[in-house]
Amino acid sequence: MLPLNPAHLPRLLTEALRLHEAGRLPEAEERYRSVLAVAPDEPAANFHLGRLLAARRAPEALDRLGRAARARPQEVAGSRRR
């Protein structure tokens, strides 16, 4: 398999979100992990993968959600006020 071009990450992340929303969770997880293989600190991929894993009660969920919060703490703080 060829290395993923970083320019393709937004498209891959959009695809992952669509799969996630459609309930195609194994495929969504694969796409999130592909994004994170190239950009390990990508906040949206970490957050949504964390959500997916939390639904399965997977221990890795906390790590992923924490990475997302550390990358964009102002967004996480703002979401708690709602």
46-81 per-position pLDDT tens digit: 999 999 999 999 999 999 999 999 987 665 444 443
CA distance 73 to 51: 17
Q: Tell me the pLDDT band of 7, cut-offs 50, 70 and 90.
A: confident
H or E stretch including 22?
none
Stated pTM of the model: 0.80
CA distance 13 to 34: 9
